[in-house]
């Protein structure tokens, strides 16, 4: 489960300083294929958390001997509805997020394990390190999972998460987002990314979102409101496809920094 990073030991920068650092980084770097920049000073903890040494080869088959396994019977369809998991209706705006997992040629990725986790409507995770003064919703766990179908489709019913403070700098707030994790044919093939909501005013201020230098790649992290997915007097619908490879791929995290 995600949680804010540890309290910085140096004085907090202002938002204006962070925004200036973001602009400088964007002007002085290439777009890096639309992937997040590992060494991104405006994202303070990236300086100590990104890899700095050389890569070390590992035996993937040996790793798989120690990795967990799952089968279709292990994933209950009810796990995709985050609004029914804890004995009552959670507080907040009920939404459905659905889309397809595709490869670079537009072919569906079938039977893919998709997991999500998120803050509640007040912007708080159920996590011991998340102690900012927003209420915990006892009827919302913030986690769910499903398998894609034969057309690569996934679907989750959940509560729209709220923004939250995260201590990167003074008055720092993360845009509302949902974390997505996808496994390939093996658990060593895990990909992690974040989905955002349209027209969030915090986009320009957030160094995690802005660590992707390519504006077109950043835009691929933002879901689209889809009225056909919305249900009468029940929920609003968002569509977000995940493309795993190719020039239109969805940006993914190359290290697990789940801010």
Q: Of the residues 43, 154, 164, 209, which is catalytic? A: 164
Catalytic residue list contains 174: yes
Nearest to 205 by CA among 120, 33, 196: 196
Catalytic residue list contains 232: no
Q: Of the residues 125, 154, 209, 238, which is catalytic? A: 125
Catalytic residue list contains 72: no
The three-point CA angle 27-9-123 to 5° equals 75
Using CA atoms, how far apart are residues 197 and 14, in angstroms rounded to an integer? Answer: 25
Q: Which residues pair with 96 in a beta bridge?
A: 157, 237
Using CA atoms, how far apart are residues 114 and 180, in angstroms rounded to an integer? Answer: 7
In contact, 146 and 75? CB cutoff 8 Å = yes
Phi, psi torsion values for 73, nearest 5 degrees: -70, -15
Q: Do you know the residue count of the chain?
A: 259
In contact, 180 and 242? CB cutoff 8 Å = yes
Q: Of the residues 44, 100, 145, 174, which is catalytic? A: 174
Q: Of the residues 169, 179, 218, 220, which is catalytic? A: 179
Q: Of the residues 100, 124, 177, 257, which is catalytic? A: 177
The count of other CB atoms within 10 Å of the CB of residue 192 is 16
Nearest to 236 by CA among 50, 105, 85, 96: 96
| Active site amino acids | 125, 164, 174, 177, 179
């Amino acid at each position: 489960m995600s949680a804010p990073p540890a309290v910085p030991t140096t004085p907090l920068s202002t938002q204006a300083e962070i925004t200036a650092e973001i602009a400088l980084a964007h002007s002085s770097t290439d777009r890096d294929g639309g992937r997040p920049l590992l060494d991104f000073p405006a994202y303070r903890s990236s300086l100590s958390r990104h890899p700095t040494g050389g890569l070390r080869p590992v035996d993937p088959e040996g790793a798989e001997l120690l990795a967990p396994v799952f089968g279709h019977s292990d994933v209950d369809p009810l796990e995709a509805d985050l609004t029914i998991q804890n004995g009552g209706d959670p507080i907040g705006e009920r939404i459905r997020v659905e889309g397809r997992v595709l490869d670079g040629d537009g072919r569906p990725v079938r039977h893919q394990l998709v997991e999500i986790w998120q803050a509640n409507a007040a912007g708080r995770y159920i996590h011991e390190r998340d102690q900012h003064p927003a209420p915990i919703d006892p009827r919302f766990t913030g986690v769910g999972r499903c398998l894609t179908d034969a057309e690569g489709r996934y679907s989750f019913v959940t509560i729209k998460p709220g923004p939250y403070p995260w201590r990167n700098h003074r008055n720092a707030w993360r845009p509302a987002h949902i974390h997505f994790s996808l496994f390939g044919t093996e658990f060593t093939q895990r990909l992690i990314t974040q989905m955002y909501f349209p027209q969030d005013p915090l986009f320009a201020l957030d160094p995690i979102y802005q660590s992707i230098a390519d504006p077109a790649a950043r835009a691929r992290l933002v879901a689209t409101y889809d009225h056909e997915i919305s249900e009468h007097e029940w929920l609003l619908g968002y569509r977000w496809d995940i493309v795993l490879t190719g020039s239109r791929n969805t940006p993914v995290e190359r290290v697990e920094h789940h801010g």
